[in-house]
Amino acid sequence: MRTARQQRNSLRLRAGRKRTAGLWRCAQSSLIPRPFCASSTIAIAVLSVLACFGQTIPEIRYKISAGDLTSADAIADEFCRTAGPISECADAVSWLARGALYLHEPARCVTYLERSKDLTSKLLTRAKPEDDPYLAAAIGAGIEVEAQLLVREGQRNQAIQMLHTALDRWQLWSIKARVQKDLNLLTLEGRAAPVLPQEDKGKPVLFFLWGHWCSVCTGQAPVLRRLHEQFPELAIIAPTRLNGTAGDNEHATPEQEEAEIEKVWKNSYTGLEDVRHPVDLAAQLAYGVSSTPTLVLVDRLGVVRLYCPFRMSEAELSTRIKPLLVNHTVSTAHNPRRTSSVP
């Protein structure tokens, strides 16, 4: 079964192949000089870079994870210089901005962010993020990095306002969910859960927001099973969504994908057969599930006590769950922040 990253890379590689079809023809025909073709050396050099679309970003990420921003910069610079101002270049530069932020180099982060924003602004005059996953990734990353920079500079309210503005502007799932995630990280804990099924009000609830394509999610399954056994009074809900795939089928019908969801849950989440795992796009968006798994803990009053857009250990979750199991004597009617929500 393919992971989400493999699926994204597949889409990106197909886009790259379409984009380079003309260059292939040019390179192949360069043995016979033609006025409309570049020299064979240039054509093949450009082609060799474009053929590695799916490898450039992982290599940049690897260098960043190793703390080597200089090498990551060199890789991105060579790629962008050879391939030109294309969306893959914007995505590569956006990773440099994230890397500089991660490595506590704010000045370099600002430089990369401005460069990435300039590239995406120009690309948007002739392309749509709905048709270009690299462009969508660069836009989402730019918004995320800018918000984090504002927070680090003590401008939390400005970051929140900026994220609200971006949330209103962008409708593409990958961008909107990512912006909502960043907004949730700043504002959700301590507030009423945006989505809470009626039948679970008054209970402590653990939301496990997952995807059937997500191998990291299945790695969390044993932890969920042990928590389910240890804390039977804790309601666990596992909302998911459709992404158009089912195993190796990249053009699955909703019926095929729903069957895949049931198959994955049965085979990979043993001991959790009684846990509801509905297709719930509203929950996935409200909780900003741009990465899976996302974990959310809600107390008996319907207030979010934990928001975590990545996997957690059993010890970490247990520490956060135990305080929520204490019986509350305060009625939910006296909680001024409690709002009604739609399941």
Token pair belonging to 154: 């003590």
Residues 71 and 153 in one domain: yes
Q: What is the DSSP code (8-state) at residue 250?
A: T
Q: Across residues 247-260, what is the average pLDDT?
A: 95
* Domain finish residue from 128, 152, 187: 187
What's the pLDDT score for residue 32? Answer: 33
In a domain, 25, yes or no: no
| Tens digit of each residue's pLDDT (9 = 90 or more) over 82-136 | 999 999 999 999 999 999 999 999 999 999 999 999 999 999 999 999 999 999 9
| CA 149 to chain centroid | 19
Res. 3: pLDDT tops 90: no
- Cross-strand bridge partners of residue 237: 207, 276
Instruction: Identify the sign of the CA torsion 313, 314, 315, 319.
Output: positive
Provide the domain limits for residue 294: 198-327
Res. 25: pLDDT tops 60: no
What's the pLDDT score for residue 24? Answer: 35
| Tens digit of each residue's pLDDT (9 = 90 or more) over 239-248 | 999 999 999 9
DSSP labels, 253-302: -HHHHHHHHHHHHHHHSTT-TTSB--B-HHHHHHTT-SSS-EEEEE-TTS
Residues 135 and 204 in one domain: no
Q: What is the mean pLDDT of the chain?
A: 85
In a domain, 274, yes or no: yes
Alpha-carbon distance 226 to 323, whole Å? 18
Residues 209 and 319 in one domain: yes
What's the pLDDT score for residue 55? Answer: 85
Res. 14: pLDDT tops 80: no
What's the pLDDT score for residue 205? Answer: 98
Q: How confident is residue 45, by pLDDT bands cut at 50, 70 and 90?
A: very low
Residues 79 and 174 in one domain: yes
Residues 222 and 304 in one domain: yes
What's the pLDDT score for residue 163? Answer: 98
Residues 166 and 232 in one domain: no
Residues 175 and 268 in one domain: no
* Domain finish residue from 123, 158, 187: 187
Q: What is the CATH number of the domain that holds 211?
A: 3.40.30.10
- Largest interatomic CA distance in the chain: 85
CB 277 within 8 A of CB 239: yes
Residues 308 and 202 in one domain: yes
Give the E-state strand segments of 8-86 in sequence order. none
